[in-house]
Amino acid sequence: MSILGEIFNFGARGTSSGFMDFFGFAGPDGKSIATPKSSLTLSAFFNGVDQLSTDIAKLPKGVYRKTGDSRERIEHPANYLMEVAPNELMTAFDFWRVVVIKMILKGETIVKIHRNQAGEEEFFEILENNEEVDVIKKNMKLYYVYKDEVLLSADVLHFKNFTLDGIRGVSVIKYAAHDLGIQLDSKKYSADVYTNRGLGYGVIESDSEVKDDNKKKLAEGFKARMSEKGPIKVAVLDFGLKYKSISITPAEAQFIESGRFGIEDIARWLNMPLHKLKSLVDSNFSTLEQQNTQYVVDCLMGWAKKIESELKRKLFPKDHPFEDYVKFNEKGMLRGDSRSQADFYTKMIYAGVFTPNEVRRLEDMNPIEGLDEPFKPVNMELLAHAIKMNKKEEQADE
């Protein structure tokens, strides 16, 4: 079974997350209850899942080492696995998309780390069916049992979305199922209205009495005429008969309009701003940059931190001799328009925070010889240095 196929699978085994509480498409009251498969038929939810997984997948990733106050990217086998290909089946971009998609729809993604005899990471394998993975807690340690194989926690990357116990993840659909179900019902109702509620619902009025047999013939004849194929349908009513269409009520029309408010609910469940779900209500170009920054800070950085923490914990254990860590660089997502970006770089260079070559690297440009030193404005200096120089001048005068 494929990984994405497994996302839509409802097996016999359950998980501690309780995700399998929802087996069917409709609940006991006849209303729809969303499933991972049916939720993706909602355009806003699909777009949110696609947007989040794509944004995490496209972030630059790497292993860094902190030495004192300095930080530098180092050579490590995980760099290739995270940025190029985690295994021979997929690219790193597809890998991280699947990881995030499963975290949203299934609540967790479990990845087995394959290492060589030297202990170096060779490839990552996504375990296809979460329901077949049992997590056993014993003596404050976790063990993963998958297809009769016992895996140590150190050999498993367990990425969790929402969690109640810190051990198993819970799908957002477990709690959003009823809200998403309302949106599914709204779609069905809207389709029914626009398909069948034109001339499909109505009454034929008469000023005189119409006997039962004639009522039946009249109804069948009118229905047959109006059901004929062709763009033009004309029915002729005799004896003062009048057709009156039954249109939708204002309350029904308002229910159809509720789809717009459903996008706001989906944005809340996914913790995303509305404009990321392609809803530009109350948005304009002057606020989009601020909203993008809010999206990165409030939403995307949380997802990145979840994944970074698990990678650091499993790739660099407690007895690791260096202070190494994994970094998902979100700086590229915070870039504004070219004018704002140029202004930012200029200020950072003049303040001595960036060197020109560091800025060129951020823009994927080759360095230029002689531009590796930070600039210092000639009219600025450290206070201590100014006091020292002033004393020297006073001594020279004396």
Question: Do 225 and 282 belong together in one domain?
Answer: no
Q: Which domain holds residue 141?
A: 3-176+260-313
Indicate the range of 107-121, 157-171, 335-349 predicted with least confidence: 335-349
In this prediction, what percent of the chain has a pLDDT beyond 70?
72
Does some domain include residue 323? Answer: no
Does some domain include residue 79? Answer: yes
Indicate whether 360 pLDDT > 60: yes
pLDDT bin (cut points 50, 70, 90) of residue 10 is: very low
Neighbours of 96 (CB within 10 A): 26
pLDDT tens column, 186-227: 666 556 655 554 445 667 777 777 777 777 777 777 777 666
Question: Do 306 and 365 belong together in one domain?
Answer: no
**According to the model, what pLDDT value does residue 84 have?**
95
Structure tokens at 272: 């995303």
Domains: count for the chain: 3
Does some domain include residue 326? Answer: no
Question: Do 82 and 109 belong together in one domain?
Answer: yes
Structure tokens at 395: 């001594």
d(CA 342, CA 365): 15
d(CA 290, CA 297): 11
Does some domain include residue 184? Answer: no
**According to the model, what pLDDT value does residue 55 have?**
94
Using CA atoms, how far residue 122 sits from 27, 115, 315, 322, in Å, is: 46, 5, 12, 21
Question: Do 265 and 391 belong together in one domain?
Answer: no
pLDDT bin (cut points 50, 70, 90) of residue 315 is: very high
pTM of the predicted model over 0.85: no
Q: Work out the burial of residue 197: count CB atoms within 10 Å of its CB; fewer than 13 is exposed, 13-18 middle, 19 or more buried.
A: middle
Does some domain include residue 378? Answer: yes
Question: Do 271 and 231 belong together in one domain?
Answer: no
Find tokens 């200029």 and name the residue: 346
The DSSP-derived string for 316-358 is S-TT-SS-EEEEE--GGGG---HHHHHHHHHHHHHTTSS-HHH
Question: Do 70 and 156 belong together in one domain?
Answer: yes
Does some domain include residue 252? Answer: no
Question: Do 140 and 206 belong together in one domain?
Answer: no
d(CA 243, CA 251): 24
Find tokens 């957002």 and name the residue: 172
Question: Do 366 and 341 belong together in one domain?
Answer: yes
pLDDT tens column, 228-238: 666 666 666 67
Question: Do 158 and 289 belong together in one domain?
Answer: yes
Question: Do 150 and 231 belong together in one domain?
Answer: no
Question: Do 11 and 112 belong together in one domain?
Answer: yes
Q: CA 141: distance to chain centroid?
A: 31
pLDDT bin (cut points 50, 70, 90) of residue 350 is: confident
Does some domain include residue 226? Answer: yes
Does some domain include residue 288? Answer: yes
Question: Do 60 and 168 belong together in one domain?
Answer: yes
Indicate whether 75 pLDDT > 50: yes
The DSSP-derived string for 89-147 is SS-HHHHHHHHHHHHHHTSEEEEEEEE-TTS-EEEEEE-S-GGGEEEEEETTEEEEEET
